[in-house]
């Protein structure tokens, strides 16, 4: 074989081998790096751009797509110990001409974390209002979406800043009294009785605990490789002390039933989406909200747990779009009347 041709094959083979070896090394040695690359890739693929906004000395990190238009902008608030990228699975099924904003909640990911900050639900709602004013999202009323802890904050926000929003979607929101003890509540009670409250099921520190958390939060059983479980844990471990502090703050008497205490003040059309097999927050909360909010539309998803956004992203996106279309149609009828 011609030496030049041989050299060409060697160079080509080396060029291909380098990224393959890098991927294998990352998977085996630095799985957390792959987790970050995964989110970076999907943000790029879906057209989400990351930006920062400052309120005095406080910094908010958020991602967005599209520009404000004739349809309401959508602001999404993630749950406990998550981040803005958890919404990517839903963003995938939303039209690209919708203006979407996903913000890191106070203390999470790229948003400022301060030991002096108020992480109660009311305190978080106040911070989100500051963010909204920073980016002038409330120039027109927007649609607010929140899940779990973020749902609690979203409901309180709707009650405290009613002029900012036109409608609301709550996905398995926290902050409500429960008619039944879920598996999560029973686990917490057992830990309290054994004085091992430091081992909170939603704050894993080993791959095995991460697997248990995924089983707790999801009805669908995802087969997650051990290395990916390790990567998910590695990403979270540096933040676990903060997550413990935050958890104790939001289950404190001041915040535990914040949504319940404020739901009678919610006057905008509200959509409630809940997984029927939720083992973290009992699905009976949906009927509590329906009985207190005048214009409330409830959707219970079969074969779905607490992680609705991950388990049923297409269905959730469609429900939000159908809800917004219904409200738009009703507004047009009022204008024509």
- The gap from C-alpha 294 to its chain's centroid, in whole angstroms, comes to 26
Per the annotation, the verdict on 329 as an active-site residue is no
DSSP reduced 3-state for 300: strand
Structure tokens at 276: 């029927």
Provide the terminal-to-terminal Cα distance of the chain, rounded to the nearest Å.
84
CA–CA distance, 131 with 275 (Å, rounded to integer): 30
What does the DSSP assignment read for 133-180? HHTTGGGS-EEEEEETHHHHHHHHHHHH-GGGEEEEEEES-SSS--SS
Residue 168 burial class via C-beta count within 10 angstroms: exposed 0-12, middle 13-18, buried 19 and up: buried
Q: Is 278 a catalytic residue?
A: yes
The verdict on whether 287 is a catalytic residue reads no
- Give just the sign of the alpha carbon dihedral 326, 47, 99, 293: positive
Give strand ranges (E) for the chain: 49-55, 58-65, 74-77, 100-103, 142-147, 165-171, 270-275, 296-301
Q: Report CA-CA distances (Å) from 153 to 170, 175, 226, 283.
A: 10, 9, 34, 18
Q: Which of 104, 164, 306, 307 is catalytic?
A: 306
Question: Annotated catalytic residue: which of 104, 164, 278, 282?
Answer: 278
Of residues 32, 63, 122, 148, which has the active-site annotation? 148
Name the packing angle between helices 226-236 and 31-46 (round to 10°).
Answer: 80
Map tokens 């900050």 to a residue: 117
- Catalytic sites, residue numbers: 148, 278, 306
């Amino acid at each position: 074989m011609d030496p030049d041709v041989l050299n060409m094959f060697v160079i080509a083979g080396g060029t291909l081998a380098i990224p393959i070896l890098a991927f294998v090394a990352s998977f085996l040695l630095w799985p957390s790096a792959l987790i970050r690359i995964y989110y970076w890739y999907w943000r790029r693929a879906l057209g989400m751009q990351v930006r920062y906004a400052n309120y005095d000395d406080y910094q908010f990190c958020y991602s967005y797509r599209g520009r404000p238009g004739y349809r309401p902008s959508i602001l999404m608030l993630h749950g406990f110990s998550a981040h803005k990228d958890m919404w990517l699975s839903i963003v995938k099924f939303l039209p690209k001409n919708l203006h979407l904003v996903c913000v890191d909640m106070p203390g999470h990911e790229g948003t400022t974390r301060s030991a002096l900050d108020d992480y109660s639900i009311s305190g978080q709602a106040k911070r989100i209002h500051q963010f909204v004013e920073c980016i002038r999202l409330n120039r027109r009323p927007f649609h607010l979406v929140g899940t779990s802890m973020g749902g609690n904050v979203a409901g309180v926000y709707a009650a405290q800043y009613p002029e900012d929003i036109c409608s609301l979607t709550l996905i398995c929101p926290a902050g409500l009294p429960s008619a039944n003890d879920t598996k999560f509540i029973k686990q917490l009670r057992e830990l309290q009785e054994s004085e091992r409250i430091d081992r909170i099921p939603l704050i894993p520190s080993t791959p095995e605990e991460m697997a248990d958390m995924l089983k707790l939060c999801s009805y669908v059983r995802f087969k997650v490789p051990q290395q990916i479980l390790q990567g998910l844990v590695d990403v979270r471990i540096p933040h676990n002390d903060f997550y413990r502090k935050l958890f104790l703050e939001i289950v404190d008497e001041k915040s535990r039933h914040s949504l319940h205490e404020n739901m009678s003040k919610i006057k905008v059309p509200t959509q409630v989406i809940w997984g029927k097999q939720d083992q973290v927050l009992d699905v009976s909360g949906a009927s509590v909200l329906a009985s207190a909010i005048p214009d409330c539309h409830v959707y219970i998803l079969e074969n779905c747990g607490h992680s609705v956004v991950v388990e049923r992203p297409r269905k959730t996106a469609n429900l939000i779009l159908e809800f917004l279309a219904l409200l738009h149609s009703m507004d047009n009828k009022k204008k024509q009347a």
